[in-house]
A = this chain, B = another copy of it.
Amino acid sequence: MSHISRPVKAIRNQENADARRERWRGHRQARRAEFVEAAVRAIGTYGAEVGMDDIAAEAGVSKPVLYRHFSDKSDLYLAVGEWGTKLLMERIKPALEEGGSARERIRRIVSTYLSVIEEYPELYRFVVRRNFADRPVHTDPVSTEKTIIANSLSRLLGEYLRSLDLDSGGVEAWSHGLVGMVQASGDWWLERHSMSRDDLTDYLTKIIWFAIDGVLRSGGVVLDPDEPLEFPPDLELVEGEGPR
A residues contacting B by CB (< 8 A) are 48-49, 125-126, 129-131, 133-134, 137-138, 140, 143, 146-147, 150, 169-170, 172-174, 176-185, 187-189, 191-192, 194-195, 199-200, 202-204, 206-207, 209-211, 213-215, 217-218, 243-244
- 28 A-B pairs within 8 Å (CB atoms) are namely A49-B134, A126-B133, A129-B143, A143-B187, A143-B188, A146-B184, A147-B188, A169-B199, A170-B203, A170-B206, A170-B207, A173-B188, A173-B189, A173-B195, A173-B204, A174-B207, A177-B182, A180-B182, A180-B183, A181-B181, A183-B184, A191-B243, A206-B214, A206-B218, A207-B215, A210-B218, A211-B211, A211-B214
> Are A184 and B188 closer than 8 Å at their CB atoms?
no
> Are A209 and B214 closer than 8 Å at their CB atoms?
yes
Within 8 Å by CB of A176, from B178, B185, B244, lies B185
Please measure, in the bound complex, the distance between the C-alpha atom of A5 and the C-alpha atom of B210, giving whole angstroms. Answer: 60
**Pairs of residues from A and B, 10 with the lowest C-beta to C-beta distance, nearest first:** A180-B184, A210-B214, A170-B203, A181-B181, A177-B181, A48-B133, A130-B133, A176-B188, A177-B185, A49-B134
Please measure, in the bound complex, the distance between the C-alpha atom of A218 and the C-alpha atom of B213, giving whole angstroms. Answer: 12
Q: For the complex formed by this chain, how many copies does it contain in all?
A: 2
> Are A140 and B129 closer than 8 Å at their CB atoms?
yes
> Are A180 and B170 closer than 8 Å at their CB atoms?
no
**A94–chain B nearest beta-carbon distance, Å:** 25
**A54–chain B nearest beta-carbon distance, Å:** 13
Please measure, in the bound complex, the distance between the C-alpha atom of A44 and the C-alpha atom of B180, giving whole angstroms. Answer: 26
A172 and B194 contact, Cβ closer than 8 Å, known pairs A210-B213, A214-B213: yes
**Additional 9 contacts, C-beta under 8 A, given A49-B133, A130-B131, A173-B204:** A129-B133, A143-B187, A173-B200, A177-B184, A180-B183, A183-B184, A207-B215, A210-B210, A210-B214
Please measure, in the bound complex, the distance between the C-alpha atom of A206 and the C-alpha atom of B213, giving whole angstroms. Answer: 12
**A200–chain B nearest beta-carbon distance, Å:** 6
Please measure, in the bound complex, the distance between the C-alpha atom of A177 and the C-alpha atom of B113, giving whole angstroms. Answer: 14
Please measure, in the bound complex, the distance between the C-alpha atom of A181 and the C-alpha atom of B146, giving whole angstroms. Answer: 12
Within 8 Å by CB of A181, from B49, B180, B202, B214, lies B180
Please measure, in the bound complex, the distance between the C-alpha atom of A137 and the C-alpha atom of B190, giving whole angstroms. Answer: 11
